[in-house]
Structure 1
């Protein structure tokens, strides 16, 4: 009769260390027992029965008798390394593989310790015990290494978080500083805005008052305009005197100079009338290329000393007008012959204004012309400049003679005399239906 029974491993002896006993209870290892019949050792049959620890215990029973007694004789260990390795290979982690290897080695060491008890061998027990202790210490090292690594990871994570917090705190401080600076800038700009609003309000009031004044001034006043026209004409006449004087002193041929002003020869009733040719030359240069709408007669003309006004404000409209017209009226050859150099011209070109008598006379004349143009720009309706061509028949509606009507027509009968324009001395102005006559030099021809 065959029978199978499961035998449990014998109790550990008293000399096994307590740590091995605890580990044995935790792991719950079971060994493989091999049993044989005492009566018929030659006739054996092996039955394999599963146990709780995935190991097989084999019984050897005799077939000679129906009832036999089974007795355990020897314990054979089964390797568990393959199982532990197969369970750890899927992780792909070196530490886990090392842990499984150490556990497998500990199991084998424990099995060797069991084997040392059957039969009982103190030397083998001692060696196996040392091996078990070594494997347990290896496990402890792995555990400590794991804890240290975990702690180090936490420390590194905490350190990185701390550094990040410090960076964020610095950035926060910078942003706070920038916000404070922006607040200060906002307050400053707000104050500037209030100041600008006050200045704008003042300028608005001034502009409104000025518009009202311009509306009053804009109403055309013929006597005032005529006075300004006469003043400009007289100023041109006055400036021609020092100009002619310098030409005489410098040795200029006045007859030749007067004839060069007009293309064709002019018939003068008197030799002294050639002075009108120089006046015409000055007026022609002063009114050349003038846009009446661009003139502001209050710019630089409200001073008793016009040269001082030019020096004080060299970028004013009147200063630019004087600079342009001086370079146009006084030719470089003329100035060089007058003074032996071009110092006046060089100073004026650099935006400066010399206080010489000649330049002061020019600025005085330019001031009168500038005022005339400024008044013409301010009146309503719009003022226009008109010119009279040479050879035109004289008309007292549009023209007046620089010599005076009686002097120009004296000695001739009206039916026998016809007057024609030799050249224009001063241009005229048309303001709506009102005319300010131009000043011309006439010649007398019999019809």
Structure 2
């Protein structure tokens, strides 16, 4: 009886434990812990794969950009080298430098070949930059900077050469101006004398001086100098032309022009003037204008006085006027330069002035401040 009771008391306890274990095992087999772990690991692997793919794509895109940038840098470097070589080629033309021309030609041909190769690489999509695109970019930039520096250096030499040429031209023009001033002074020498200081020439005492000179003016003003000299070779105007021609035209100059000095000898002996000589024809027309001005000046009463202003004199509104009208000039810088200087100074006289009694005809002058402002 006791055995039956004991077995019945133990059996239910074992069966309850067995049922509990079977339920746990069943749940584990259906939705076990290992399955959840496997799901989480698979999700992590997928995320890491996507990140790696994105990084690879970004790296590839960056490489493509660097390759294109390196290619463009090489193109610009080659173009800069061609420009520098062309500048060298131009500079070597004058004065002629065959070595410089040959060197510049080699650079141009070499860079054109490089540009052609870059073009083919672009079309074929085959880029080989040694050691890397970044290194190629740096090398190209250095090459471009060297070419630009070379261009500026050549242009600097060219400007220096032009400046030297301008300086020599200025010196030549100054000498020419000085010679012209001497000749002009010679033409107007003795202008203040009624007879131009000519020998055996005087005003008839019974004639009115102003009327006498006015008749001389009317006699010559409408006639060509060549025709008047041919018609009156012994007139005062003819004597004036002889004296001024022999003073201004050097014998060597005349011999170099015509190969002889026959007409000079003829003029010294008081003979006729050459009528087919272009040099003397031009000289006669110039002398006519000086002679007419002289006659017109002595036709007034009181007499006309001519004057000019020397360099460094202060500007006077009574006797002078500037050739540049600063009041209506559009150049504000020139007006400002004159406004700063309370006493502008004369650089040189452009047109002489005249004084008739108390009436003054202003001479035209160029001011030194204007010349400095233009420089």
TM-score (norm 1): 0.34
Q: Which has the larger radius of gyration?
A: 1
Question: Which has the larger helix fraction?
Answer: 2
